[in-house]
Amino acid sequence: MLSPLHKQLLNDYQQNFPISATPYQDIADALGVTEADVLSAFSELNDNNFISRIGPVIPPNHIGVSALVAISVPESQLQAVADKISAYPEVNHNYEREHRFNLWFVVIASDAEHLSAVIDSIEQETSYKAMLLPMLDDFFIDLGFKLDLNND
């Protein structure tokens, strides 16, 4: 069950996270709790899979370069290949799709040469050819979700 502090952190800090040398203290001061309370609450949210990370969302290709990539993997090997791909620190996320190209992922790198090297390495390690899908139009979807603070 989410505490009032959990709900407030989720509501108020999905966006507009403080950018400072002491963001957790800034949050604590704004909410009237201690920094330890904030850190503990975020840790609990992470441990219970309510959040997966705290970090910036940077538009594609504003810092470094990125690519959406798809590969076709036999169903029996899908999880093993997805796990290999997820092990690359340059891979932001991957997911299964209902399509002949059934495993899609985003690769982020410092420059085009690094991006190409990562994709080449993934192809070598998985033995599957990657299809790069260049971004034609940039769309932003706000994934913030407001929680009902009055409903326990």
Tally Cβ neighbours within 10 Å of residue 43.
11
Buried b (16+ CB within 10 A) or exposed e, 110-129: eeeeebeebbeebeeebebe
User: 9-53, pLDDT tens digit by residue?
Assistant: 998 998 889 999 999 999 999 999 999 999 999 999 999 988 878
User: 91-130, pLDDT tens digit by residue?
Assistant: 988 899 999 999 999 998 999 999 999 999 999 999 999 9
pLDDT at 143 over 80: no
**Domains in the chain: ranges and CATH:** 4-47 (no CATH), 65-133 (3.30.70.3460)
